Structure 1
């Protein structure tokens, strides 16, 4: 019995050490990117201070995801400066900017998995499930869900939505 407890303690210590080494090396949390210099939360938050501040206490999903342990690079994968430049955006865009993430990032295996999985997760909304609409699938998560701005209830613009409200 003592040998079993000692082995469990050694295993727990090894996991803790491995986790600490991963954090020290700058690994992103689950779902995070590991793409070059801009994969570090500090770099993105420093480069885009208005968005970094918004992720702490502003509108949008950034704060929600940050509370779950995600960092900027979890959603903004790749070289954000190059992506903004390619979109013709100079400097830090406004938080309500139309520049957004790729839906594939939202539907990655580490996050919301697939459109079908998301529709199943919100199945309790019944006929008012925005992820399983009779109108078809909205191809872009950012149509409704905003990272750094108020969410947009597109369905609610025409339908009462059964009284549901967007929570995140």
Structure 2
């Protein structure tokens, strides 16, 4: 089960980023004909972000404590002490922004409301940048875990 969670969490995160890019492009080219696609993309960002949050949360509560101990005792302790700490606090921002997107999109016809268009573009850019930063932090944490397990294995062979 942990293998599924560790794969679905970042996969849904990236799908959320891709949906945000889609929404960004549709919003920058908003017209009366693409409002349905804009709405679908906004809901896609929200759904994928929520799924990434749920799968990541389950993994974090169920499986990360043992891995955290390994990382903190390994050569890449900074992978948890810095990157996971940043990730733990940063993920709320794109989550809240993703939850807000459908509200902005469904309450406004973006092709007729320049201010709402600018708001959606700003939200998408923030989601994209923050989510990709979180993905990079996750990669560093993953590497910190791998390095810790390799060190444990090599020390175990010498004993």
User: What TM-score do the two structures reach when normalised by structure 1?
Assistant: 0.23
The structure that is helix-richer by fraction is: 2
Q: Which has the higher contact order (CA 8 A, sep 6+)?
A: 2
User: What TM-score do the two structures reach when normalised by structure 2?
Assistant: 0.24
